[in-house]
Amino acid sequence: MFDLNAIVRKNILNLKPYASARDEYKGKEGIFLDANENPYGTLNRYPDPYQMKLKEKLSALKGVPTENMLIGNGSDEIIDLAFRIFCTPSKDKALTFSPSYGMYDVSAAINDIELIKVPLNDDFNIDMDAVSPYLSDECLKLIFVCSPNNPSGNCIQEEGIDFLLKNFKGIVIVDEAYVDFSSTPSWNTRLANYPNLLVSQTFSKAWGLAAARVGIGYASRTILTLFNNVKPPYNVSAINQQAAIDALDNYAQFQQRLKNIVEERGKLRTELEKIDIVRKIYPSDSNFLLVEVVNAQAVYDDLIAKQIIVRNRHKLVNNCIRITVGTPEENQRLIEEIREMR
């Protein structure tokens, strides 16, 4: 049985959370003299600490109740909050797979938490035999699964994630930053089956709002109560909440751009496959391709010289570069330059 209280840090369990003026009086009409705000201006009022307008729009789109949603200052805030809620510094541990997203390392290091890394298998899926022995460690509190995975691009098979959720007593965080680019459904509709599941998504990629810093967490109400108690009350600015609301209101544009990017991803693959120095292109459910070339450093340097910037992922996957899908013109330029290389 999953026992949430057993895995939460004691100081967090006992925390008396900050009660903002907006927690105390939730009405919308009246003369507001309770939050020491300035009565003049347009951005003079504190934003909604629970971002209800945004959550209601998201709820309609995603089919998840608002009480199972958390809005973060980017999904990176949600990752950091998970460490702070569940992991006692210099004692507890977290686990992820490799290769994966670098922010798990940084967040673990900031919180003084050891991050165990279990290699993914050859097709970048979870090796259940390899991860199994770690699951019974009393100090292991969090497991991060990135799906679709950065930098490999693939969705992680359901079987592996289900195995973790069923066999681990801590929290499994499924980072779905790239889920919109995939036809594999989100895990966010299965919260009722998995009390230890936390799904994160973001407005930074498919929604085109990286500058606005808006992330989404989905989990049980009891898990999210902890997150709401620990997060800064006004963690997402009114401007940024509005940017996300505007994007949701402009759903047709979102769909059109998403379609363009997915089509371009296919074209980019087809063209790159014809080039000699390209050895392998991994399957992608995201807005980037992981491409193995003869010499990643050389390709990277040559592209930089042409002012085309890709990510050299050689240290994570041998001789691989990660190419984000750009506009048709940008992708065309990239292909022309790589074609010239020997």
User: Which residues sit at the interface with ligand PLP, rule CB under 6 A?
Assistant: 74-76, 101, 146, 150, 175, 177, 202, 204-205, 210, 215
Instruction: Please report how close the Cβ of residue 10 comes to ligand PLP at its closest, in angstroms.
Output: 28
Token pair listed for 46: 């504190």
Nearer to ligand PLP, 93 or 205 (CB): 205
Nearer to ligand PLP, 51 or 150 (CB): 150
Instruction: Please report how close the Cβ of residue 184 comes to ligand PLP at its closest, in angstroms.
Output: 15
The number of beta carbons lying within 10 Å of the beta carbon of residue 141 is 25
Instruction: Please report how close the Cβ of residue 104 comes to ligand PLP at its closest, in angstroms.
Output: 9
Cβ-closest position to ligand PLP:
74
Separation of alpha carbons 159 and 128, rounded Å: 9
Nearer to ligand PLP, 75 or 188 (CB): 75
Write a three-state SS string for the chain: CCCHHHHCCHHHHCCCCCCCHHHHCCCCCCCCCCCCCCCCCCCCCCCCCCCHHHHHHHHHHHCCCHHHEEEECCHHHHHHHHHHHHCCCCCCEEEEEECCCCHHHHHHHHCCCEEEEEECCCCCCCCHHHHHHHCCCCCEEEEEEECCCCCCCCCCCHHHHHHHHHHCCCEEEEECCCHHHCCCCCHHHCCCCCCCEEEEEECCCCCCCHHHCCEEEECCHHHHHHHHHHCCCCCCCHHHHHHHHHHHHCHHHHHHHHHHHHHHHHHHHHHHHCCCCEEEECCCCCCEEEEEECCHHHHHHHHHHCCCCCEECCCCCCCEEEEECCCHHHHHHHHHHHHHCC
Nearer to ligand PLP, 172 or 177 (CB): 177
Nearer to ligand PLP, 8 or 148 (CB): 148
Instruction: Please report how close the Cβ of residue 221 comes to ligand PLP at its closest, in angstroms.
Output: 22
Nearer to ligand PLP, 47 or 74 (CB): 74
Nearer to ligand PLP, 74 or 99 (CB): 74
Peptide bond into 151 cis (omega under 30): yes
Instruction: Please report how close the Cβ of residue 82 comes to ligand PLP at its closest, in angstroms.
Output: 13
Separation of alpha carbons 267 and 260, rounded Å: 11
Nearer to ligand PLP, 111 or 278 (CB): 111
Instruction: Please report how close the Cβ of residue 266 comes to ligand PLP at its closest, in angstroms.
Output: 21
Instruction: Please report how close the Cβ of residue 80 comes to ligand PLP at its closest, in angstroms.
Output: 10
Instruction: Please report how close the Cβ of residue 334 comes to ligand PLP at its closest, in angstroms.
Output: 20
